[in-house]
Chain A
């Protein structure tokens, strides 16, 4: 395994600089001068006690977490797509389409160990305003396992207003590809560090769902849902994010309007742009992708051609575009691919769009892969 000697004091220099630069400079011009970023790949054949060690090593390879999270409030967006009772076959969701609870626990533990002041676990569970802990319990997860993994662990369902008094507004630099901005649960603003904790999967609409597509779920269905009121958010989310997919209706008028001249109703056009908008508006500081066990053929048990696979991989990086690019390469895809080429046969590349917005690079030549080389870790999803 390739190791690096990057010290924790030099925490993820290029990557953390990325976030700062991005905020300070015009996005599009900055995209042409992206510095090399680092993405760590770890082999981890199975869930269990070994996950913490592999992840810790990967974070060390990235330069350590302390500089990023010590004394900070860290928001962690989990990928818990669909209903808690959905399963691919008989397999628990963590083995197929959800990030596994042991990866969540290990990440929380390491964030706490690195000095995070507060860790908020976030997700927008399908069609409900119920507490996130209850949603987890329905899947037979034990939220207390996360609470004891680090000091001050909190949970919030971000599919609604939650504990906030009002929604937080995030403008997309440059005016946005689909919307000028997005109104989100307060937890996405009330944090110093934002982590996307995703699953290594294909996606029927967006080609792949990795650390960026995970952020599609930060949008509250009280505003962006199928049945959200025309004027203002509902109290309780009902339905999914059909309007993002199909453009069949607008979000509540209280939210920022669509970007001008964008009337497409093609989900393969719309969804990647919404995702790119979101990661531009709400930057991801740390991307972690669980590919130990997962599924191929789609993002959830509801997709056709679905099957359980076991790549035995973890991927982490401080730039979500670069991390997703490496993850795509690990899945057997070309991260430079675009519409018409796998896995983007019927959609645009979220990576290209995000790169265009200046979020990061998808060019493997500009990405330093640490840990296990891609060539020794590749797991071809289309052949699995």
Chain B
């Protein structure tokens, strides 16, 4: 924001290179809603101050080389795994998918100030980073760019209650797919009528029988970026759905709880739904179905602890000695999946300590027979997921 150039030449005209139609639409919608006046898409490269290149596309490298050499153009990369491209495209800031507007803004201002030099272009001789990487471990996705994408970068709140909660800690579910999908599920269950979320390029149907499911032709790879993107009002709507129209034959059925968990976890990015109290004690009713849902960082540890009794998200983070943002993401997903039990407020006022006494409260080193053995088995199993 302090960048003089970006301040004097707003809006930044952004040209998309090798970005798919769906991504381009989502980026356009997000910019229109949340960065209007700051960043604007353009179809004219000569007009653009910056370009966003999808490095996951085959033609990205050639497209980068084809850019006019003397052109003062800030270039930003866009990739599912930015680490894969940092060596190959050294000097070009790369943001992860799906789009995070704050990251985009930071990368754009940086790129405009430091346009790529000739040496910044592709270096095909560099060995692929994947060849140098060590095998994945449990903590791999934590505190990396992907971990940040999934759980944000917020600092911890004070352990004791504070009234001044930062606004950015919360998000309005109605701005995201999760709000509309959750409403469709609730309405459908209340009315016992089949409903669907329409307005995206595929329907998401809510089916009640024989088991509550959501049926859609969206694959998870598509559902995830849509879930993470803020949708302009009226993008989606809930419609009555008799179920036989517009079937593509490629629909997948997700358990309602699983899909709500996923879209909420993807939208959360370390935040809580508006109106949540991070100091209020809740209890996890049951483990999420982790074989079929997205598993955020630390999720298994959080679940194992939270099913034992009432505790606030702050308490859970403190007991596990992990950043609160991971617990907030978990909380948000569990909230929309219907897996949380809320301690009555009257009771909450009386209790100041987490109620994890019955069964016994776990601590960092609870009395288990062979903790080191368990850790070693766990390490062995990590590559399986």
Q: Does A associate with B in a complex?
A: no
